[in-house]
Chains A and B, each alone.
Chain A
Amino acid sequence: AQSVSQHNHHVILSEAASLELGCNYSYGGTVNLFWYVQYPGQHLQLLLKYFSGDPLVKGIKGFEAEFIKSKFSFNLRKPSVQWSDTAEYFCAVNAGYSSYKLIFGSGTRLLVRP
């Protein structure tokens, strides 16, 4: 069965620091990859997604992620974080062209100190 691993459960950064959150998945075939974010008190919302084409995808609020197929990874990056990026970040994958089972990682809580 497919699974998703997020290596960092809690990350604390100061404003302007660079961010990289790791995400690895286990599935050998075609995948769709997502990062969702949950800001305090808000709904889960999409940050960015990859389903084909350029493996470097850009999302909202300056976030980007790179799909490295050989490493089964989809790491999230931001060159300079802001206090407003404080949130919980979830990597998710579904396997196959028409798979409906979107599997989430355990999440990473990011705290950005002003």
Chain B
Amino acid sequence: NAGVTQTPKFQVLKTGQSMTLQCAQDMNHEYMSWYRQDPGMGLRLIHYSVGAGITDQGEVPNGYNVSRSTTEDFPLRLLSAAPSQTSVYFCASSYGTGGNSGANVLTFGAGSRLTVL
């Protein structure tokens, strides 16, 4: 059982380049999300999805796009990278979106470290 798989683990970009961080989960989780982790700021929610075809913005969505065409995959796209997007990115998922779904525990990926020069 692989859990949440993120690729790539490391990436260096130049300002203005675009790229996609991949996230896949094999647990049939309905809920998926992307966070960025910066020193002294904890994890901040970028975008999230409660099922295929449904996405919504988190705390810091600007500069990022997402889509959810399948239950398993939730890619994060940087359209025009900026140095302020240098960070460690985490994908996380959880089962179910009914009831007190806010109590569901997140399963995290290993993270993707992105540097924008």
Which residues of A pack against B, CB within 8 Å? 4, 6, 9, 32, 34, 36, 43-46, 49, 51-52, 90, 92, 94-107
In the complex, which residues of chain A have a beta carbon less than 8 angstroms from the beta carbon of B44? 104
In the complex, which residues of chain A have a beta carbon less than 8 angstroms from the beta carbon of B42? 4, 6, 90, 104-107
Known contacts A32-B100, A100-B31; 17 further A-B pairs (Cβ under 8 A): A36-B106, A43-B108, A45-B108, A46-B105, A90-B42, A95-B102, A96-B102, A97-B99, A97-B100, A98-B97, A98-B101, A101-B45, A101-B48, A101-B58, A103-B59, A104-B43, A105-B42
Interface of B, helix, strand, loop or mixed by DSSP? mixed
A9 to B114, CA, bound (A): 24
In the complex, which residues of chain B have a beta carbon less than 8 angstroms from the beta carbon of A49? 103, 105
Q: Which residue of A lies closest to B3 (CB)?
A: A43
Count of A-B contacts with CB under 8 A?
70
B: number of interface residues (CB 8 Å): 29
A97 touches B43 (CB 8 A): no
Residue in contact with A97 in the complex, picked from B41, B102, B105, B109, CB distance below 8 Å: B102
Within 8 A of A (CB), among B62-110: 90, 92, 97-103, 105-106, 108-110
A105 to B103, CA, bound (A): 17
B100 touches A51 (CB 8 A): yes
A99 touches B102 (CB 8 A): yes
